[in-house]
Chains A and B, each alone.
Chain A
Amino acid sequence: MIVVVGLSHRTAPIAVREKLVLDAEGVPDFLRALVQRPEVGEALLVSTCNRVELVAAARAGADLTRVAKVCVEALAANAPDIAPHLYSHTGGAAVRHLFRVAASLDSMVLGEPQILGQVKDAYELARLAGTVGSVLHRTLPRAIRAAKRVRTETAIGSGQVSVPSIAVDLTKQIFGDLTGHVSLLVGSGEMAESVARLLKAAGATILVVGRTLSKAEALANVVGGTARPWTALAQSITDADVVVTSTSAPHYVVDYDMVTAARRARRGRNQFFIDLAVPRDVDPRIEELDGEFLYNIDDLSKVVAETLSSRSREAASAEAIVGREAEGYDRWADAEQATPTIVALRARISASLEEELARSFRGKLKHLTGEDRAALSKMLESSVNRILHQPTIRLRQAALERASDTLSLEQLSLAISELFAFDAEAEAASATENAAPSLDSEACVTSDDTSQLPPRARVVASRH
């Protein structure tokens, strides 16, 4: 099972979070050093501006609490004062937390899409560093799948959640492709500048008009536009398809007559006014005109609120999906508890049969051709699968059900170990070292002593 240790915007202010920033180049070494510890088998690090989380898998037999402690020590090694802000989750809680993080249910902005990419990047980085093994190779894809399901099956990621992005989204709903369209920025301001940048990025040509030409020119340089003097305002409004206003004027800067005149000159082409100023810059009566659209800061804020409210409503559905995916993971993890016994049993039977077969090939069956020998080996392999089919199913059922009226997984494993005289954990560990992460690989029998564990048992496993 896994542990998650870290801090996020929920537990630590930015002043604390910034102490734990690890550059991407240092992460592989950090992870490699961590998996050198005897308790930690696998590790990856999710690092964003809102969270730093270490996801680690315990080595066989290691205590999860101990693994969590090791992770806390590793994270707090260079910044001891972050320790009080660190949280840790173990086992099923860690899995659920990881799934929620990937699905953006733990993000500062609910439903934001970046976190899924960041989790994928973290997984890839750890994979390249060689610190991901069979457990995380199974866990991360499931977390990513849960996140994708949340995004496709709910509306948690729909709509824009900032005023500038909403403004540009609305512009596209009117004009479609903004290439070749002219946008006019009247006044200045951080939000207006953001809108202008987004419009520019969408392909629009930017004009900037300000009361002070030098300031307009400076702003035009910043947003990649062209400055015009204040006296050119009326003409600029005629030229522009999108007008973004953000002045500190106490009266309307764009009045009804100005827009009516511009509309005539534009021969009825649609025009969109984005009024970010308080008090307002654009006369609201222009909304009555056909082809003229006006959104002020209140209108835009309401759209943001609508989007956020819609996302919050979707969070319950998203949590349900994450819950189901986490349950699926738990079932898989439970079923995996039967794996050491299954692997060991299969290794033991395969080894015995192969040994007998090898002896026969040297004796009575010496005359067989290579093709016949291969066919015989194949037949024995199939026989092993057939013999072990029912025991495999029964062991996995025992791992999943844990019913009181049937033999438990532990009892069955003990019985098998007794009957076949082996230590399932040790033998499986030996076998899976050669077979991980899949059980479908092979190793060779080298020992003649059937009472001893073969150092490298042939494992012919199949999934049931």
Chain B
Amino acid sequence: MVDIATIAFYLGVIAYSAAATLFFLDFARRDGGSSLTQWAPRLLAIGGALHAAHVLTASMLSRVCPIDSLHFALSFTALIAVGAYLALRKRARLFALGAFIAPIALLFLVGAQFVGQGSEPVQGVSHTLLIFHIAANVLGMGLFLIAGASGSVYLVQDRRLRTKKRVASLGSRLPPLDALDQATHRLLLAGFPLLTFGVITGAVFSRHLTTVVGSADFLRSFLGYATWVMLAAVLLLRKTAGFRGRKVAYGTIVGVVCMLLVMLLYVVRSSGAGGSL
């Protein structure tokens, strides 16, 4: 079992690395057609399958429910992002987003190895509710990662069309602006209820914490609320004031950066103190 987990991990790293490289080469090439476009998502899917195999076998080894530790939560976030990208890439014409998703998945797969695996029980909190809290956050983060990537590509495409440079050579490889805008919006819509649930349950759990609340915890809470407020504002202003395009992209990116900072603070805290969500 140890061997399977280790082999799946290393093969997953190789598949993600190869997919990231092919996506990048596909993005950077000068000509119009390439077989790389076909192989990169296949390798990403293989990487995702190996990643999932690693998570399952490793969790069986450590006898920990995968959703119950930060180690696996990080891995699952990347898996959700990979799965959502593969599901959406053809329908929403988001091919070029692979150049963002594959390195993120690789980073999360490898990065999770450096995070503590233990779970620190929170007194007075239902374990089931805690699992729902973590699951909602993980799913939401996975969707927001793609929304952030989609917003970033929107800005690149928008700038290219405005500056009118490399319009002919790069055009066919980047998704259309409308497709990116739609994808960002739909991913935010899908992830926002999960984020809201995570924020509310997180607020409830924080009341039961017996440990002293430090500045890092305060900052984490602040950034968590800031993520929610920013993404809520993006969705609300789109509905009421017709916010689209660049404004939505910038708002989404700011929200996703806040979310990543929250994750980073979790990682820092758990690395220093045994690790928990």
Contact = CB atoms under 8 A, between A and B. Distances in A.
Nearest to A155: B31
A270 interface: yes
Contacts of A269: 242, 244
B107 interface: no
A302 B30 CA distance: 18
Nearest to A171: B176
Given A158-B30, A169-B171, A173-B171, A268 B243 contact: yes
A268 B161 contact: no
Chain A's interface size range is 20 to 34
A158 B245 contact: no
B243 to A, nearest CB: 6
Contact of B176 (A160, A173, A287): A173
A170 B171 contact: yes
Interface residues of B, number: 28
B177 interface: yes
B263 interface: no
B246 interface: yes
A152 B178 contact: no
B31 A306 contact: no
A159 interface: yes
Given A268-B245, A269-B244, A287-B162, A154 B31 contact: yes
Interface of A: 151-152, 154-155, 157-160, 166, 169-170, 172-176, 264, 266-270, 287, 290-291, 293, 295, 299, 302-303, 306-307, 310, 314
Nearest to B247: A290
B41 interface: no
A174 B178 contact: yes
Interface in B4-48: 30-34
B154 to A, nearest CB: 11
B74 to A, nearest CB: 33
B135 interface: no
A306 to B, nearest CB: 5
B162 A158 contact: no
B164 interface: yes
B208 interface: no
B171 A176 contact: no
A314 B169 CA distance: 13
A176 B93 contact: yes
B87 interface: no
Interface string B206-234: 00000000000000000000000000000
